[in-house]
Amino acid sequence: MNKFELVGKGINLILRDNVLAVLSDVPLNTVSSAFHNGGGLKKTKAILNVEVLKSCSDQYLHDNPEPYITDSANKFGLEESFIGMVTAAAVQNFSLVSKRNGELAVSVIATAADNEGNTCNYAESAGEPIDIQMHEGTINIIVVIDGNPTESCMVGTLITVTEAKMAALRELDVRSRASGDEATGTVTDAVVVAKTSRGAPIVYGGPASELGQLVGYCTRRAVREAVTKANEFMPSRSIKERLRERHLSMEKLASELSKVNDLKVDEQTLTKILGNEPLFALLVLAAAKMDEDTKKGLLPSELGNIEAVSKRFGGLLLEASGSARIPPVAVNYDSVDLPPFTKHALINLVRSALSKEKTGNLK
């Protein structure tokens, strides 16, 4: 068993087996979206984040969710009044961030990832169509406030927590599994905000308020740390992974490029080209960003026709790469089913790399 002190007298974080528990000597007022005994304003002395072990089948958990979480609570001798969340993340990889400003203090505990240690598998972007049968990826957040926010302020604080979570995901460029867009969370996230009720009433919990700034800072750091603790997630992950997360796998890119007669390239060769030429990889990521802006309607109107400017963009990248000038090839690229900037960047860069290979200059 591991024990950690949180803000507020007599409040501790306990890690025991597959359960991460916030235990308080006195009742805490909470607002939450928790699975067990959550769903609004409640009082409790215990908030649990329960890891679903691999030995527990998805069907069993679906059919018997309450027994699983109450059985886990028995490890602490708790009764039904506790608030409980479930997660596929390894709870020992939790992140705890605390900060104090005078009499007001905040602790945030976050867990993230699925039972394979991968947050990205179940990330989503709210508002998009989602058709995912398995729901294992979860970001769970517990906020403990040593202070006395009003009920409306507690709800406002929950919004600030959500915004800070999204900011952390944006910093790490976590992508939606469904669309490849920037993720706003995972499909089963939960949040609990708890307060000690100590001190004068606090009215505002938005991002610019004193409380909101503490909550935002702690949440953003805690979520970022929790996500990066996942075994398969690295902020500096490879170009191959960054593109795959955007639904631009090396297999798909190679297949589409091979529709151009002089660009017969397989997945391994394309991976080698981008891996051996750092500038090429950088330029392809820049092109992918331009395509995202195109999709969102963010490109400045001064750029004019997207197809025309993306072709010019690809040609400029070829010059920027330092490649020898290659005679233009009169080919219709309409059959290449890739976003315009990525398409023309890759066509030019790969043609350059294959030309170097023929002359023996490809690394």
Rounded to whole angstroms, how far apart are CA atoms 343 and 336? 7
Range of the domain at 152: 2-228
pLDDT in tens, 238-282: 999 999 999 999 999 999 999 988 788 999 999 999 998 888 899
Question: Looking at 42-56, 111-125, 135-149, 342-356, which range is the least confident one?
Answer: 111-125
CA geometry: angle 111, 115, 120, nearest 5 deg? 70
- Do 219 and 110 meet the contact criterion of CB atoms below 8 Å apart? yes
150-164, 256-270, 279-293, 318-332 — most confident range: 150-164
Query: Using 50, 70 and 90 to split pLDDT, how confident is the model at 150?
Result: very high
Pair (105, 245) in one structural domain: no
Rounded to whole angstroms, how far apart are CA atoms 213 and 21? 25
DSSP states of 70-118 as a string?
A: HHHHGGGT--TTSEEEEESS-GGG-EEEEEEETTEEEEEEEEEE-TTS-
Pair (205, 258) in one structural domain: no
The DSSP bridge pattern shows strands 185-186 and 138-146 to be unpaired
Pair (218, 274) in one structural domain: no
Which of 228, 251, 267 is at the close of a domain?
Answer: 228
% residues pLDDT > 90 (the chain): 62
Q: Which residues are bridge partners to 42 per DSSP?
A: 30
Pair (27, 149) in one structural domain: yes
pLDDT at 289 (0 to 100): 95
Query: Using 50, 70 and 90 to split pLDDT, how confident is the model at 198?
Result: very high
Pair (244, 205) in one structural domain: no
pLDDT in tens, 54-101: 666 455 555 566 788 888 898 898 877 899 999 888 999 999 999 999
Which of 228, 262, 291 is at the close of a domain?
Answer: 228
Average confidence score pLDDT of the chain: 88
Supply the pTM of this predicted model: 0.90
At 49, which CATH number?
Answer: 3.60.70
Pair (181, 48) in one structural domain: yes
DSSP states of 9-43 as a string?
A: TTEEEEEETTEEEEEEEEEEEEEE--TBT-SEEEE
Rounded to whole angstroms, how far apart are CA atoms 299 and 308? 14
- Do 227 and 113 meet the contact criterion of CB atoms below 8 Å apart? yes
pLDDT at 234 (0 to 100): 82
Q: Higher model confidence: residue 314 or residue 320?
A: 314
